[in-house]
Amino acid sequence: MAYTKRFDGRKADQMREVEAKVGVVPRADGSAMFKFGDTIAIAAVYGPRHLHPQFLQDPQQGIIRCSYDMISFSVTERKRPGPARRSQEISDVTARSLEPVLLLSQFPNTVIDVFINIVQADAGTRCAGINAASLALAHAGIPMTDLVGAISVGSLGGSVVVDLTKEEEDYEEDGEKAATDIPMAFTLRDKKISLLQLDGKVKPEDLKKAIEAGRKASEAIYEIQKEALRGLK
Ligand code: UDP
């Protein structure tokens, strides 16, 4: 059985309503909000600042440190506060997805801290977090070669669809999980992949389709991010 009609009626290549805004945390050096439908991420950037303890410093370049967390009330079943394996993993992949566009060699011995909080979660939070972080870094004036745009693409019952909701992530056929979640990020001008994760199984041809769908969606995200930086939204 193919998943042809989406639960919320969107077209296969249609993202949820997307919104982006910079300057949402006035005391940070840079900040942004990024929203995919009911998923809302806020990112705040501090730095570059001297890195302590000293042995962590790199005299060749600065480092980026991301800290992703979902607020307890962001999901219907209260999320236990504090660090967890999932948030550690997402923090790490977020930093790696952003690193390629940052000119870190200009800031030896320093750290750029990026705090990402998910205030409302309905799947795709790591992608919303990366989009918010990319915007917040640009808003902070950190020298960057490009922005990064992230989107989760799914393969559901034989169809490739962009920007999965939690309901879609949980899609089952014959009592078995039938959704594959493929979060990905692109450098927006160069169109290079800076994140590709896969939760589930996918045929090689569907993976290619998913990456193409993701690339297309990332172009729309780029336009929204640029608009937010221009202060239009
Ligand atoms: N989720 C939840 N509680 C948790 C972790 C996740 O309810 O402790 C939900 C939340 O809606 C999240 C979704 O599961 O967006 C999918 O989580 P996943 O780990 O796949 O990451 P995401 O898609 O958010 O990047």
**Residue 1, pLDDT score:** 63
Q: Per the domain annotation, does 12 fall within a domain? A: no
Q: Which atom number of ligand 1 is nearest to the Cα of residue 80?
A: 8
* Distance between CA atoms of residues 218 and 152, nearest Å: 10
Tokens of 140: 């902070």
Q: Per the domain annotation, does 4 fall within a domain? A: no
Q: Which atom number of ligand 1 is nearest to the Cα of residue 181?
A: 20
Q: Per the domain annotation, does 144 fall within a domain? A: yes
* Distance between CA atoms of residues 68 and 162, nearest Å: 23
SS3 state of residue 33: strand
Tell me which DSSP letter residue 93 carries: H
Which residues lie across from 44 on neighbouring strands?
Answer: 31, 115
Closest CA relative to residue 15, chosen from 162, 127, 135: 162
Residues whose beta carbon lies within 6 Å of some atom of ligand 1: 75, 79, 86, 121-126, 152, 166, 169, 181, 183
- Which region among 2-11, 110-119, 130-139 has the lowest average model confidence (pLDDT)? 2-11
Q: Per the domain annotation, does 184 fall within a domain? A: yes
- The alpha carbon of 121 and the centre of ligand 1 are apart by a number of angstroms equal to 7
Q: Per the domain annotation, does 76 fall within a domain? A: yes
Q: Per the domain annotation, does 120 fall within a domain? A: yes
User: pLDDT tens digits, residue range 54-71?
Assistant: 999 999 999 999 999 999
**What is the domain count for the chain?**
1
Q: Spell out where the chain has E strands.
A: 18-22, 30-36, 39-50, 63-70, 110-120, 148-156, 159-162, 172-173, 176-177, 179-187, 193-196
To the nearest whole number, what is the mean pLDDT of the chain? 95
Q: Which atom number of ligand 1 is nearest to the Cα of residue 39?
A: 15
The pTM of the full predicted model, rounded to 2 decimals, is: 0.97
User: pLDDT tens digits, residue range 71-101?
Assistant: 999 999 999 998 899 999 999 999 999 999 9
**Residue 57, pLDDT score:** 96
Best mutation site among 90, 125, 161 for ligand 1, i.e. most ligand atoms within 8 A of its Cβ?
A: 125
Q: Per the domain annotation, does 233 fall within a domain? A: no
Q: What CATH number does the domain containing 120 carry?
A: 3.30.230.70
Q: Which atom number of ligand 1 is nearest to the Cα of residue 164?
A: 23
Domain range for 98 is: 18-228
User: pLDDT tens digits, residue range 194-233?
Assistant: 999 999 999 999 999 999 999 999 999 999 999 999 975 5
* Alpha-carbon torsion (188, 113, 183, 23), positive or negative: negative
Q: Per the domain annotation, does 7 fall within a domain? A: no
